[in-house]
Amino acid sequence: MRKYKNILVVVEPEREDQPALDRALEIARFSPDTRITAFLAVYDFSYDITTLLNIDEQTEMRRGILEISEKWLENELISKHSENAAISGKVVWYRSLPEAITKEIKKGSYDLVIKSADSHGLMDGVIFTPADWQLLRSAEIPALIAKNHPWPEGSSILVALNLADSADSDTRFMNLRLLRNAQELARLIHGEIHLLNAAPPLMPVAIVEIPGFTPDIYSEAVMKHNREQIRAFGARHRIPPENCHVIEGQPDDVIPKMAADLHTCAVLIGHTGRSGLAAALIGNICEEIVDAVNCDLMVLKKIPRK
């Protein structure tokens, strides 16, 4: 059964290019009859200081801005005409782009949301949360952060697996969801799937007290265990052993390097949904990887299991 039938694309008029829309059209090229909704949230902050205007004048101002935006989007979609997809535009008046996206996802029966990658640095993450960061944290469907590059047929697709607690049902479920989405992308572009586990060089404090137990012994035991786990996982899903990789290091270092070595078109990673001050100051691993990889990043948010 085809997975990506109905795609929500976030269009941003301030950009000269639209990588998110281009990516949706590329998926449609491999999968005809895909429905694409080009979604544009507009708001003019001068509207906030129009208290001197009466209700009718405020309504007219808002209507005029919406009409201009709808015309712009219509022209943009005409320039992106595709015979493989039914494309429609939707313009909404909303102050917050992330909130508008989240609301639209909940209203529609979308299979995938695509947004172009934003440029943001360290201080952006501390002072405010850019739209793509918020989207990764809140989207209940797979979220693809698209960068400006093609998806050549036969490209590699990298899946980052969590093998830290293979007995945990939520972890196993997330790993399976990541693989299923990778398989759909691989089916579309005739791509090759690679599995990756980044094993951070950590050692429990209690082990330090065991006589004769060294960090090297612990590290090798972890690496051996993870190799066995990832190869067993790969074997169950017909991923050859040579495509199953375990590398010692932090995920935000290991994943971008492996993605570059394999020339991947997309990296898939799970999101635990951490929030609060820790997320603002430190950043989740998947959010850090957005900046580091030179390919698209698909993020799946943890789904509570009943």
Inter-residue contact 73 to 11 (CB < 8 Å): yes
Residue 116 β-bridge partners:
146
Lowest mean pLDDT across 41-50, 63-72, 107-116: 41-50
What mean pLDDT do residues 5-30 have? 90
What mean pLDDT do residues 34-62 have? 80
Q: What is the pLDDT of residue 283?
A: 47
Cα-Cα-Cα-Cα torsion 134, 140, 141, 142, nearest 10 degrees, comes to 50
Whole-angstrom Cα distance, residue 66 to residue 287? 32
What mean pLDDT do residues 193-214 have? 71
Residue 143 β-bridge partners:
113, 299
Inter-residue contact 147 to 15 (CB < 8 Å): no
Of the pLDDT bands very low, low, confident and very high (cuts 50, 70, 90), residue 149 is confident
> What's the mean per-residue pLDDT of the chain?
83
pLDDT at 52 exceeding the cut of 70: no
Q: How many Cα neighbours within 13 Å face the side chain of 258?
A: 28
Q: What b-and-e string marks burial along 138-176, b requiring 16 or more CB atoms within 10 Å of the CB?
A: bbebbbbbbbeeebeeebbbbbbbbbeebeeeebbebbe
What mean pLDDT do residues 141-155 have? 91
Rg, C-alpha atoms of the chain: 22
Query: 237 or 204: which carries more pLDDT confidence?
Result: 237
Residue 270 β-bridge partners:
300
Range ranked top by mean pLDDT from 158-172, 188-202, 217-231, 237-251: 237-251
The strand ranges marked E within 51-153 are 85-93, 112-116, 143-146
> Is 226 exposed, middle or buried (CB count within 10 Å of its CB: 0-12, 13-18, 19+)?
buried
Whole-angstrom Cα distance, residue 189 to residue 217? 42
Give the N- to C-terminal CA distance of the chain in Å, as an integer: 25
pTM value? 0.86
Q: What is the pLDDT of residue 280?
A: 47
Whole-angstrom Cα distance, residue 257 to residue 285? 14
Digit-coded pLDDT (tens) for 99-137: 999 999 999 889 999 999 876 554 444 333 567 777 877
Tokens of 262: 């394999």
Beta strands 112-116; 192-199: pairing state? unpaired
Whole-angstrom Cα distance, residue 64 to residue 54? 16
- What percent of the chain stands above pLDDT 70? 80
Q: What is the pLDDT of residue 175?
A: 94
Q: What is the pLDDT of residue 137?
A: 78
What mean pLDDT do residues 240-260 have? 94
Query: 216 or 157: which carries more pLDDT confidence?
Result: 157
